[in-house]
Structure 1
Amino acid sequence: MRVRSEDGARSEDGAIRLSEADLGGPLGERATLVQFSTAFCQPCRATRRVLAEVAGMVEGVAHLDVDAEARLELVRRLGIARTPTVLVLDAGGRVVRRAAGMPRRADVIAALGRAVG
C-alpha cells in the first residue's frame, strides 16, 4: 500500500488525520481499516470481506466501511478517485497507508504492522 498526499485533512504536524466524526464510526484502539465503497462496486464486496477478516484477527483493530456516494465532501477532501479505496489509520487516526483497488490480505496485514508498530 502506498501513502498518497491528500489536501484538506492535515493536522498541524502535516499528517492526514481522521476522526470518528469524519468517518461516522468508532476508531479502533490500535488501528482502523477504512474502506470507501459504492453500492454497485463488485471489488468492494470482496475488499469488505478481506478487511473484516483481518480486523477480526488483530485485537484493537476496527473496520469502517464508508459509503462514498453518501460522503462526497469527505471523498473530495481526501481525493478518493475510485472504489474501493482503503486507508489504514493508526490509533490516533493518522493515515499511514492508502491503496486503491482490492488489496491482498498479506498487504493489509503488513500495513497494519506499520500502523500498530
Structure 2
Amino acid sequence: MERVERLNPEVLGAGARLGERATLVQFSSAFCQPCRATRRTLAEVAAMVEGVVHLEVDAEEHLALVRELEVTGTPTVFVLDARGRIVRRATGQPRKADVIAALGAAVDTSPAAEGPE
C-alpha cells in the first residue's frame, strides 16, 4: 500500500479547511482522555500562530482514513504544511513546546519558503 504523504479538505471531510501556513490534524475518539488535553493544547497553539488551523477528526467515523494513515491510537496528530503535506506525526498527548517546534518545520516547508510547486 502506498503511504499517504498529503491530506486535503476532501479527504478530511466536509467543512475542513487547511491553514494558510500550517494545519494541526488531530485524530481522536470519544472516550479518549488524552484527546481532550491534546485538543486544548493544539487549539491554544493554533490561536497563537497566525495562519495555523486545528482540525479534529473522529477516528471512529473515519475508519478508512485511519487505516490508510496507519493511525494505531488516539490521539494521533499530523502537522501539515500549507500544501497539506504531512511534515510530522505523533501519537499520544503532545507537549506544547513540541507542537510549536513541529509547526516551525511545517512553516519552513511552506510554499512561500519553497516557491511555486
TM-score, normalised via structure 2 length? 0.88
Q: Is the 8 A contact 1:55 1:63 kept in 2?
A: yes
For structure 1, list consecutive stretches of 5 or more residues without a partner in the other structure: 1-5, 10-15
Deviations 1:44-87 (A, max 9, x none): 00000000000000000000000000000000000000000000
Query: Residue in 1 aligned with 2:23?
Result: 32
Deviations 1:1-53 (A, max 9, x none): xxxxx8442xxxxxx00001111200000000000000000000000000000
Whether 2:33 is the aligned partner of 1:57: answer no
**The residue matched to 1:59 in structure 2 has which SS?**
coil
Larger Rg: 1 or 2?
A: 2
Q: Is the 8 A contact 1:43 1:101 kept in 2?
A: yes
Which residue of 10, 21, 28 maps to 2:10?
Answer: 21
Query: Residue in 1 aligned with 2:59?
Result: 68
TM-score, normalised via structure 1 length? 0.88
**Matched pairs, number:** 106
RMSD over aligned CA atoms reads 1.1
Q: Greater helix percent: which structure?
A: 2
Structure scoring higher RCO (CA < 8 A, sep ≥ 6) equals 1
The 1:72–1:48 alpha-carbon spacing in structure 2 relative to 1, beyond 3 Å, is: same
For structure 2, list consecutive stretches of 5 or more residues without a partner in the other structure: 109-117
